[in-house]
Amino acid sequence: MAEELGRYLSEFDDCFGRSEPREHLHEYVCGQASELHRKSLEPIAMLNGTPPRTLQRFRIKDGQKSPIV
Protein backbone atom coordinates (compact mmCIF):
# COMPACT_ATOMS: atom_id res chain seq x y z
CA MET A 1 0.00 0.00 0.00
CA ALA A 2 2.85 2.43 0.79
CA GLU A 3 4.15 2.25 -2.77
CA GLU A 4 0.70 2.92 -4.25
CA LEU A 5 0.13 5.78 -1.82
CA GLY A 6 3.52 7.24 -2.75
CA ARG A 7 2.59 7.17 -6.45
CA TYR A 8 -0.71 8.86 -5.71
CA LEU A 9 0.89 11.56 -3.58
CA SER A 10 3.50 12.22 -6.27
CA GLU A 11 0.66 13.62 -8.38
CA PHE A 12 0.69 16.60 -5.99
CA ASP A 13 4.44 17.27 -6.25
CA ASP A 14 3.98 20.34 -8.40
CA CYS A 15 1.83 21.93 -5.67
CA PHE A 16 4.98 22.46 -3.60
CA GLY A 17 7.97 24.59 -4.53
CA ARG A 18 10.33 22.69 -2.23
CA SER A 19 10.99 19.05 -1.45
CA GLU A 20 10.42 19.39 2.32
CA PRO A 21 6.67 20.08 2.11
CA ARG A 22 6.28 17.18 -0.31
CA GLU A 23 8.00 14.92 2.20
CA HIS A 24 5.85 16.24 5.04
CA LEU A 25 2.69 15.56 3.05
CA HIS A 26 3.84 11.98 2.51
CA GLU A 27 4.68 11.58 6.23
CA TYR A 28 1.34 13.03 7.32
CA VAL A 29 -0.83 10.97 4.96
CA CYS A 30 1.10 7.76 5.62
CA GLY A 31 0.74 8.44 9.36
CA GLN A 32 -3.02 8.79 8.94
CA ALA A 33 -3.10 5.48 7.06
CA SER A 34 -0.83 3.73 9.58
CA GLU A 35 -1.65 1.45 12.48
CA LEU A 36 -0.97 4.22 15.01
CA HIS A 37 -3.51 4.30 17.83
CA ARG A 38 -3.41 8.13 17.97
CA LYS A 39 -3.50 9.90 14.61
CA SER A 40 -2.52 13.34 15.88
CA LEU A 41 0.54 15.19 14.60
CA GLU A 42 2.86 14.30 17.46
CA PRO A 43 2.67 10.49 17.11
CA ILE A 44 2.86 10.79 13.32
CA ALA A 45 5.95 12.99 13.57
CA MET A 46 7.59 10.63 16.06
CA LEU A 47 6.86 7.67 13.78
CA ASN A 48 8.79 9.40 11.01
CA GLY A 49 11.57 10.86 13.15
CA THR A 50 10.37 14.38 12.37
CA PRO A 51 10.17 17.06 15.05
CA PRO A 52 6.47 17.56 15.92
CA ARG A 53 6.72 21.34 15.39
CA THR A 54 7.81 20.72 11.82
CA LEU A 55 4.57 18.92 10.97
CA GLN A 56 2.58 21.47 12.95
CA ARG A 57 4.09 24.28 10.83
CA PHE A 58 3.34 22.26 7.71
CA ARG A 59 -0.31 22.04 8.73
CA ILE A 60 -0.76 25.72 9.60
CA LYS A 61 -1.57 28.13 6.81
CA ASP A 62 -1.91 31.88 7.49
CA GLY A 63 -2.36 31.26 11.22
CA GLN A 64 -5.30 28.91 10.64
CA LYS A 65 -5.29 25.16 10.92
CA SER A 66 -6.41 23.82 7.59
CA PRO A 67 -7.00 20.25 6.44
CA ILE A 68 -4.38 18.89 4.10
CA VAL A 69 -6.51 16.53 2.06
Q: Are 4 and 10 in contact (CB under 8 A)?
A: no
Q: Where are the domains of the chain?
A: 2-64
Ramachandran class of 38: left when φ > 0, alpha when ψ lies in -120 to 50, beta otherwise = beta
Q: Is the pTM of this model over 0.85?
A: no
pLDDT-derived band at 49 (thresholds 50, 70, 90) equals very high
CA dist., res. 63 & res. 59, Å (int)? 10
Please give the pLDDT value at position 3: 87
**CA-closest candidate to residue 31, choices 59, 65, 63, 61:** 59
pLDDT-derived band at 68 (thresholds 50, 70, 90) equals low
Please give the pLDDT value at position 62: 40
pLDDT-derived band at 63 (thresholds 50, 70, 90) equals very low
